[in-house]
Amino acid sequence: MDYQMLVNRDHKLEKEIYENEIVPNIIAVKTKKNNDVVFRVFGIKDKKTYLEKKTAEKFGEFQKFAKKNGIIIDITSGYLSFEQQNKKYNYFIEKGGKEWADKSSCPAGYSEHNTGLAMDFDIFLNGRWGGIALDKNGNTNEKAKWLHKHLHEFGFILRYPEGKENITKMKFEPWHIRYVGEETAKYIYENNLTLEEYYEQKI
């Protein structure tokens, strides 16, 4: 597995990563309603979250670290097949139009969720999920900001950071993280880079 692979609107994942390379994540899944609405919408198989094995293990460590510091985190979305990704992308188009959808999602093959290395996570705060989301003033929860500062210690990066939208071509998403390995994550964090900028330096 290439943990530093670049997948974005300009770099397509040419072949699908098959499920035998993805392991069920042991962490409970946060869903919107009746425990299955998210799955019905995006067609996630068996109502389980799947991740690449090492990515799942490192997120488990990150979750335990967060809990020791009084923060409960969970996964809302992990690996998606090409078929599932297209369902998600088309759902976004139906909901808000293509221009709006393109700020939040990508067609199959162009999404990091197709790799098994990326996920969306959330914080349980004040008795409900949604503590990581932006509030009406565009602010991210302080606990989420604290978690962002520690992501690299477990090999993760905040994939679509604020102020880098013109580079990632995605809106700021404080919930979307990506596993790249500890050494790479530390370099990206300490140099305030996106994965795109990291690749430009490597070339």
- CATH architecture observed for domain 19-202: 2-Layer Sandwich (3.30)
pLDDT-based confidence at residue 45 (cuts at 50, 70, 90): low
Whether 173 is catalytic = yes
Tell me the pLDDT tens digit for each residue of 66-76: 999 999 998 88
CB 189 within 8 A of CB 152: yes
Hey, is 4 helix, strand or coil?
A: coil
The lowest-confidence range among 75-79, 115-119, 188-192 is: 75-79
Tell me the pLDDT tens digit for each residue of 90-139: 988 988 899 888 888 899 999 999 999 999 998 988 888 888 888 878 78
> So what's the pLDDT on residue 61?
93
The residues spanned by each domain of the chain are 19-202
Single out the catalytic residue among 14, 99, 173, 190.
173
Partnered with residue 179 across adjacent β-strands are: 156
CA–CA distance, 39 with 35 (Å, rounded to integer): 9
